[in-house]
């Protein structure tokens, strides 16, 4: 099992999240929101074999932290994992879309110099622009669209671009989230929590909470639990090997 989008460094109590990762023994991708947080986050999860740290620059911070791009460039060779990156067209952020595009395209272009990057991507209220950017930089790596809430047409477009989709318990809280999940090809589905930001019934999500998504997928796909786990494991192996 896995959690491919978790902000480990931003949990209110680091010991709680570290204990959950140890006990669950899941494959966890610890994402960062600014390049200056990367080294500290790597240290935080030292010794956790299945926990990888991604180098990111979050779209909501792009206009404030674009000056960290030189640091991003310096660190990009240190990790295979890139994120959280992407675009955000929500109220309060869409006015900074030019800065977001500058940062996102810069990162995708840098990633094209490698052949093994795995990217976890934010696309809230900016799906068309996000997919356009991925189309512009087709060799940037394997894109994972996190908490993706597009149309059926956009799902097909994303699949065509080689995208995977990471889905978490919070997505099951809305009819729209469930509808999008029902459109995703089985072989492109991965799991996430987006903790500590994503919550269910006011409770912060931890990697061990992905089980509810596994149950939902089993019911959706008409799979026994073991078959669901095998499919998800195959999907994970397909991107990390």
14-32 pLDDT, tens per residue? 999 999 999 999 999 999 9
Q: How far, rounded to the nearest angstrom, does the alpha carbon of residue 124 sit from its chain's CA centroid?
A: 12
**CATH no. for residue 98?**
3.20.20.140
Residue 241 has pLDDT above 90, yes or no: no
Residue 9 has pLDDT above 90, yes or no: yes
| Cβ–Cβ under 8 Å, residues 60 and 97 | no
The residues facing 166 across adjacent strands are 146, 190
Residue 119: the pLDDT is 98
Both tokens assigned to 148: 């993706």
Rounded Cα distance, 86 and 69, in Å: 14
pLDDT band at 8; cut points 50, 70, 90: very high
Higher model confidence: residue 84 or residue 49? 84
* pLDDT at residue 3, rounded to an integer: 98
Write down the pLDDT at residue 213.
Answer: 98
Average pLDDT over residues 41-57: 96
Mean pLDDT to the nearest integer, 96-124: 98
- Per-residue pLDDT band for 37 (boundaries 50, 70, 90) equals very high
Q: What is the count of structural domains for the chain?
A: 1
Q: Report yes or no: 88 and 122 within 8 Å, Cβ to Cβ.
A: yes
Q: Mean pLDDT, to the nearest integer, of 56-72? A: 98
Mean pLDDT across the chain, nearest whole number? 97
Mean pLDDT across the stretch 44-66? Answer: 96
The span from the first CA to the last CA of the chain, in angstroms, equals 16
> Do the beta carbons of residue 233 and residue 32 sit within 8 Å?
no
With a cut of 90, say whether residue 147 has pLDDT above it. Answer: yes
Sign of CA dihedral 166, 55, 158, 61: positive
> For the chain, how big is the Rg over CA atoms in Å?
17
Domain containing 184 equals 2-240
Cα–Cα distance, 160 to 236 (Å, whole number): 19
Q: Determine the average pLDDT of the residues in 214-231.
A: 98
Residue whose entry in the numeric block shows the structure tokens 């189309």: 135
């Amino acid at each position: 099992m896995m959690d491919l989008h978790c902000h480990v460094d931003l949990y209110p109590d680091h010991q709680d999240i570290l204990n959950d990762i140890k006990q669950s023994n899941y494959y966890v991708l610890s994402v960062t929101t600014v390049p200056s947080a990367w080294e500290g986050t790597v240290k935080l999860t030292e010794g956790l074999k299945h926990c990888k740290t991604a180098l990111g620059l979050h779209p909501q911070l792009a206009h404030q932290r674009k000056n960290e791009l030189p640091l991003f460039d310096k660190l990009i060779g240190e990790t295979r994992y890139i994120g959280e990156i992407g675009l955000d067209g929500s109220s309060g952020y869409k006015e900074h879309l030019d800065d977001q595009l500058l940062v996102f395209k810069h990162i995708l272009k840098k990633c094209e110099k490698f052949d093994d990057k795995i990217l976890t991507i934010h696309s809230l209220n900016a799906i068309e622009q996000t997919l356009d950017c991925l189309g512009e930089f087709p060799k940037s790596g394997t894109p994972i669209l996190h908490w993706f809430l597009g149309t059926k047409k956009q799902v097909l477009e994303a699949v065509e671009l080689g995208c995977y989709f990471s889905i978490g318990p919070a997505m099951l809280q809305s009819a729209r989230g469930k509808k999008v999940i029902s459109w995703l090809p089985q072989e492109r589905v991965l799991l996430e929590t987006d903790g500590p930001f994503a919550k269910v019934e006011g409770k912060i999500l931890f990697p061990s909470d992905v089980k509810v998504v596994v149950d939902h997928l089993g019911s959706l796909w008409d799979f026994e639990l073991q078959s669901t786990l095998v499919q998800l494991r195959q999907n994970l192996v397909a991107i990390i090997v």
